[in-house]
Amino acid sequence: MSNMKITVFADPVCTWCWGSVPVLRALSYHYGTGIEMDYVMGGMIEDIRTYNNRRLSIGGDIALSNRKIYDHWVEASAIHGMPVCENGFHLFSQEHPSTIPQNLAYIAARVYEARYSGEVKPGAAQHYLRHLQEATAIDAVVTSDADTLVDMSAVVGFVPEKFRSIYAGDIVKTLYDEGKAFCRSYEVNSFPTYLLTYRGEEMMLRGYSTYDVVCNCIEQLSFGNIKPVGDGRAAFTPENVLCFMESYASTYPVEIATAFGLARRNGHTALNVESYDGLPDMLEKLIAAGEIAVAPRGNGFIYYRLNGKQPKPHILGHKYANVDA
Nearest-Å Rg of the Cα atoms of the chain is 20
Query: 247 in helix, strand or coil?
Result: coil
Cβ–Cβ under 8 Å, residues 125 and 113: yes
| Protein fold of 231-305 | Arc Repressor Mutant, subunit A (1.10.10)
- Of the candidates 204, 177, 149, 146, the one whose C-alpha atom is nearest the C-alpha of residue 43 is 177
Domain 4-185 in CATH 3.40.30.10: yes
Q: How many helices (H) and strands (E) does the chain have?
A: 12, 6
- Of the candidates 278, 298, 272, 43, the one whose C-alpha atom is nearest the C-alpha of residue 180 is 43
- Of the candidates 148, 137, 165, 146, the one whose C-alpha atom is nearest the C-alpha of residue 252 is 137
Flag residues of the chain having pLDDT under 70.
Answer: 1-2, 231, 308-325
Structural domain boundaries in the chain: 4-185, 231-305
pLDDT at 308: 58
Main-chain phi, psi angles of 8, to 5 degrees: -105, 110
Sequence-ordered list of residues with C-beta below 8 angstroms from that of 16, at least 6 positions apart, any chain: 76, 80, 191, 192, 207, 208
pLDDT at 315: 33
Strand ranges of the sheet holding 4-10, from the earlier edge strand across to the other edge: 35-41, 4-10, 193-198, 201-206
- Of the candidates 261, 259, 318, 257, the one whose C-alpha atom is nearest the C-alpha of residue 283 is 257
pLDDT at 121: 93
**Parallel, antiparallel or unpaired: strands 300-305 and 201-206:** unpaired
Main-chain phi, psi angles of 318, to 5 degrees: -130, -10
